[in-house]
Amino acid sequence: MILTGSEDIRVKKTILSIRNTFCKMICEMDYEQITVRELCERAMINKKTFYTYYAALDYLLFEVQESYSAPFIAEVGTYKLPDDIGRLIRQFFEFSARQDEAYEKITCSVSYQNIRNKMIDTVMLQSSGSKMPVILPELNDFQNNLIYHFWHRTVLMVYKGWIEDHKRTSLEDIIRFTNGLVLNGIENFI
């Protein structure tokens, strides 16, 4: 349930408890292992209360995804491909660095790949009008598809590596490295 601000304080507390508990569970286990029963036990609510606000766990997941995707879309909504790929990479890292552990788990873990792909599709659809944007109009669909997957998978791979390395590389250095790799290729570093 998306809060409007006009809810009773008890409703707000219950919704926040459900969301916070769910995000903690995301950090501990795969989505398929999360049950409404365990979520309710941890949030100290009964199942009827959960179902008052969410028809199913998937609805709560969608709301959490939206809470991560919407602010990012707002930050990059005016960016145009291919001109702003470097800016988009920078914004992704800066935005991601401000997020919590649940975001990192969804973004990095193989078990959350389907969830992550839905978030990426949402961002691309909102920012470019298509899940598969045309990067260079002079290229055919196959080539554009390869370029799109190359840059977005490369960025995710670098981000995942950065998280696994406990962010020891500075944010500015990882952005510079990723932009160099995506925009100029390996030759940039040889």
* pTM confidence score: 0.85
pLDDT digits (tens, 9 = 90+) for 84-116: 899 999 999 999 999 999 999 989 988 888 777
Question: For residue 5, what is the DSSP state?
Answer: S
* Summary mean pLDDT of the chain: 88
Among residues of the chain, what percentage have pLDDT more than 90? Answer: 54
Average pLDDT on 64-84 reads 87
Average pLDDT on 73-81 reads 86
CA–CA dist 135, 124 (Å, integer): 12
CA–CA dist 36, 47 (Å, integer): 7
pLDDT at 53: 94
Question: For residue 98, what is the DSSP state?
Answer: T
Evaluate whether 18 touches 60 at the Cβ level (below 8 Å).
yes
CA–CA dist 90, 85 (Å, integer): 9
pLDDT digits (tens, 9 = 90+) for 142-172: 888 888 888 889 999 999 999 999 999 999 9
Average pLDDT on 7-33 reads 92
pLDDT for residue 44 is more than 90: yes
Element (H, E) at 74: helix 57-76
Encoding tokens for residue 82? 């291919």
CA–CA dist 9, 15 (Å, integer): 10
pLDDT for residue 82 is more than 90: no
Question: For residue 31, what is the DSSP state?
Answer: G
